[in-house]
Copies of this chain bind each other. A is one copy, B any other.
């Protein structure tokens, strides 16, 4: 079946793009991961950019799903919803660091392209978190810029940590980093509560 091969190719491509980036990943390498030739890959995706674009599209849909899901699981309380959204992003990024890696790479590689695209694929995510933040009692009088700065601090804290995971484990050891990983969501939660609470 073509559909199954397509899925497996996309999975292999996601792994390799995350690991080695767009330039560092060859079509032959992706196809080889399934025991196929690169022409089999080119049969399913006409160009390398098409393959990459499809990987990105699925990632962005999935991230948005994480955010929406966390948001809906909570009631209308903005602080709780914001907390759950950030923690859900943190959990997702820890469970599957590939996604974080690719998002970061996209930020680095295609900042020129992304800059001209008003509708960057992560923008809905940013806008939703910022809106949630401004709905919190502690930030009710915050300007867009102030709320956005806080959004980015939260997002940066989540994503940067996820991207660093493997390096940190190598540096400090598995045990020490397990402790840090346990402390991380608690610290995130505390930070959100401090800045979201009234007063």
Chain A: residues with CB nearer than 8 A to chain B?
20-24, 101, 104-105, 107-109, 111-112, 114-118, 120, 123, 143-146, 148-150, 152-161, 163-164, 166-167, 169-172, 176, 179-180, 182-184, 186-188, 190-191, 194-195
Q: What is the copy number of this chain in the assembly?
A: 2
Q: Helix, strand, loop or mixed for chain A's interface?
A: helix
16 contacts between A and B (CB under 8 A): A21-B21, A114-B170, A114-B171, A115-B166, A117-B171, A120-B170, A123-B171, A144-B179, A145-B179, A148-B183, A149-B183, A150-B187, A152-B180, A156-B160, A159-B160, A191-B195
Q: A21-B21, A148-B180 are in contact. List 12 more A-B contacts (CB 8 A).
A: A21-B24, A21-B108, A22-B24, A115-B170, A115-B171, A117-B170, A144-B176, A145-B179, A146-B186, A152-B157, A153-B161, A153-B191
Which residues in B have their C-beta under 8 angstroms from that of A158?
156
With contact pairs A115-B170, A157-B152, A170-B116 given, residues A143 and B183 touching in the complex (Cβ less than 8 Å): yes
Contact of A182 among B22, B115, B145, B159 (CB under 8 A): B145
A22 to B180 Cα, complex, angstroms: 30
Which residues in B have their C-beta under 8 angstroms from that of A114?
167, 170-171
